[in-house]
Amino acid sequence: LLVGCRDRSVKLFSTEKGKFRESRVCPGGDGPFCGLAAYGSTIITCVESGLIKVWPENETEKVSGWLELEAGAGLCRMRQDPTRPHRLGTGGKENALKVWDLQRPQEPVFRAKNVRNDWLDLRVPIWDRDLQFFPDSEKIVTCTAHRQVRLYDPRSPRRRPVLETTFGDAPLTALALVPGETSVGGGRRFWGVGGDVGGLGGAEDDNLGGWGLSGGGWGQQFWGIWGTLG
């Protein structure tokens, strides 16, 4: 497990030994970490200012040997594709979803387009708080500070969400896949997504709900949740 600390150090915790195995400082960019990942023997860090860095296992290697990407300011989250670890997704405040390929790092392989103007013809603000890749699929799901849950399919030429729903009155702040299920749960403190294209769910003020991708509409809802799901 990788643990990012406020002093910009990254610690590696061994679940087998039950203790931290090593630690290293990862400077560069501004703001706190908004994503950590492992790629082979390297560590990937991402900070709020948008700097993504790939750190080699050997700290004595020259700086020129480190891969750096600029994903844009205001980042809230970086996530790694679990089935294709060389792919990363990023999103944030006025920083729409992007998918990066570390094997072709020059430009994003996918750049989401904002939704159309609202019914007053006003621009809809962007504030992606979290995202997840669906395993063995091109699809990506995001949740926003404006209560939206959006499903993207990079194979679609539109680049806009292929599905969208909203829930509650409070910002959604986190997103996690639920293995082996076709529904999605979420929360102000937690949001979960499960299945290939099965369902979406959401919550606000520590409440949890599920929404079906195929049938539509909100299903199970649970109120007054005080814990988190992992």
Average the pLDDT over 33-59 and give the result.
Answer: 91
Chain centre to alpha carbon of residue 155? 19
The model carries a pTM of: 0.80
Question: Do 186 and 202 contact (CB within 8 A), yes or no?
Answer: yes
User: pLDDT for 80-119, tens place per residue?
Assistant: 999 999 999 999 999 999 999 999 999 999 999 999 999 9
Distance CA 92, CA 72 (A): 9
Pick 112-230's CATH classification: 2.60.40.10, 2.130.10.10, 1.20.58.1610, 3.40.190.10: 2.130.10.10
Residue 66's pLDDT band (boundaries 50, 70, 90)?
confident
Instruction: Give me the residues paired with residue 22 across strands.
Output: 12
**pLDDT of 208 above 70:** no
Signed CA dihedral, 100, 101, 107, 110: sign only: negative
Compute the C-alpha angle 190/196/201, nearest 5°: 30
Domain limits, the chain = 112-230
